[in-house]
């Protein structure tokens, strides 16, 4: 399913400017058809999962977990 910038922003609960910025930085997967940009929800969800995994990996390396027992 393809989403426009506005539709994707609403779905992800972010501003359209964030979607546009991610696209311009070539971080968010998109399709260009003519002069319009579209986003496949499945590709965006996969991208978000990868970013989440990278974030969790980076945070676990920089800060060891300390448990108070």
- The enclosing domain of 33 has a CATH number of 1.10.10.10
Q: How many domains does the chain have?
A: 1
Q: Are 38 and 4 in contact (CB under 8 A)?
A: yes
Q: Which has more confidence, 13 or 67?
A: 13
Both tokens of 28, joined, read: 């968010």
Average pLDDT, the chain: 85
Give pLDDT tens digits for 17-48.
999 999 999 789 999 999 999 999 999 989 88
Q: What share of the chain in percent tops pLDDT 70?
A: 84
Please report whether residue 37 resides in a domain: yes
pTM: 0.73
* Structural domain harbouring 16: 2-56
CA distance to 27, 29, 37, 39, 69, per residue, from 48 (Å): 10, 10, 19, 13, 34
Please report whether residue 69 resides in a domain: no
């Amino acid at each position: 399913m393809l989403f426009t910038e506005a539709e994707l922003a609403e779905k992800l609960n972010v501003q359209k400017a964030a979607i546009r910025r991610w696209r311009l930085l070539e971080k968010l997967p998109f399709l260009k058809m003519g002069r319009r940009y579209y986003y496949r929800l499945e590709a965006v969800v996969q991208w978000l999962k990868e970013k989440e995994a990278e974030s969790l990996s980076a945070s676990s390396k920089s800060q060891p977990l300390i448990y108070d027992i």
